[in-house]
Chain A
Amino acid sequence: MADLMARMGELCASGTPGDSLVALGLGSCIGVVLLDRRKGVAGLAHIVLPAADGHAKELNPLKFADRAVPELVKQVVARGGRKPMLEAVLVGGASMFAGAGSTLEVGARNAAAVKAELVKERIRIHAEDTGGTKGRTVRVDPVTGVVTVRKAGAKDEQLYPATRVLQEVA
């Protein structure tokens, strides 16, 4: 039972009961979650930039959306996930310093790049909490497939699977 951390440019995957996959304080970065809920396997990548093209080859490839997404699929499948059954959840891609120039578009570009990669992999996005100006922490329980998101100054909220609001009976 452990918290597996995905820090900037890192990814993790697990199918072990009691494990949590965690990315703390995502700003313009994107946390990509892949789930096979029936098998109880999940992976989480902490993506920093859209594409590795044109950048030095010695850089860590896993910080780029176009390299990290295929690797994440591979690692989830290696732990027993079935590729056709994978569901994706996206968290992050905020613009923390709205109006302050260059950091502005990275979040949105990251989200677009991740979506393009998921289309290539034929994986559907089932939930997302992206954009805006707030940082987010994402936690994944691989066995139950529950994904929660927390923003600064707020509580954990379940993002996926969607929770039904129970109507109060007077």
Chain B
Amino acid sequence: MSASYNETQLDALRELANIGAGTASTALSEMLGRSIDLAVPDARVLPMADAVEQLGPPEQEITGIMLGVEGELPATVLMLLTPENADKVCVMLGLEAGSDLVPSALGEIGNVVGTSYLNALAGMTGLAIEPTPPATVTDFLGAIVESILAVRAAASDRTLLLDSSLVIEGEDCSIVFLLVPDHGGAEELLERIGVA
């Protein structure tokens, strides 16, 4: 089975992403003590080579916080923000910019935000899922994204991206939140919500 979905299915996935991201933005808002705006989420199926470019210039330096998802919906959660915004977020948490604690603080944000997104998904679908501990890197956008896609490339040339933007109000600071289901993961989601 190759990754291809009809419009009804993509709409259903967008709705799931919307609810997941809504819960995630509440968690982020509580953590930072700021209001968070949520951009309309998108669900897209793309050739892998295009997926990288859709997210931004491949050589852009970006900070990525990655969580694996295990259980009935194997997937990867990836949060992307510019290194400047990563510093801003850490300052909001009370750290000094450039502190040694930045990577672990970002990992913790990833953990809290990612887990709330996943819990919302699990609650809606009844899927048992468990996040793995976060890993944080700052590198080329292309290198980060292709490394996550590469492990899925054995099953398909295409990938499903569920993306949402969390915008921190008044700070000109946004975090892109991505859920990349493993091959078959999205089918499981769609089956649970009755649009398989």
Contact = CB atoms under 8 A, between A and B. Distances in A.
A137 B58 CA distance: 9
B157 interface: yes
B154 A25 contact: no
Nearest to A95: B147
A27 interface: yes
Contacts of B106: none
Interface stretch (B8-16, B92-100, B133-141, B160-168): B133-141
A137 B59 contact: yes
Which interface class (under 10, 10 to 19, 20 to 34, 35 or more) fits A? 35 or more
A133 B146 CA distance: 14
B50 to A, nearest CB: 8
B140 A55 contact: no
Interface string A85-120: 000000000101111111100110000000000000
A42 interface: no
Contacts of A135: 139-140, 142-144
Given A7-B49, A25-B59, A27-B150, A56 B143 contact: no
A32 to B, nearest CB: 15
Nearest to A54: B154
B2 A97 contact: no
Given A8-B52, A56-B155, A152-B139, A27 B146 contact: yes
A84 interface: no
A25 B154 CA distance: 20
Interface string A123-142: 00000000001111100000
A48 B157 CA distance: 11
Interface stretch (A33-41, A57-65, A72-80, A158-166): A57-65
B185 interface: no
B142 A27 contact: yes
A40 to B, nearest CB: 26
B147 A96 contact: yes
A100 B49 contact: no
Nearest to A110: B150
A125 B149 CA distance: 27
Nearest to B144: A96
B4 interface: no
A48 B52 contact: no
A150 B141 CA distance: 14
Nearest to B146: A27
Interface of A: 7-10, 24-29, 48-49, 55-56, 58-60, 63, 94, 96-103, 106-107, 133-137, 150, 152-153
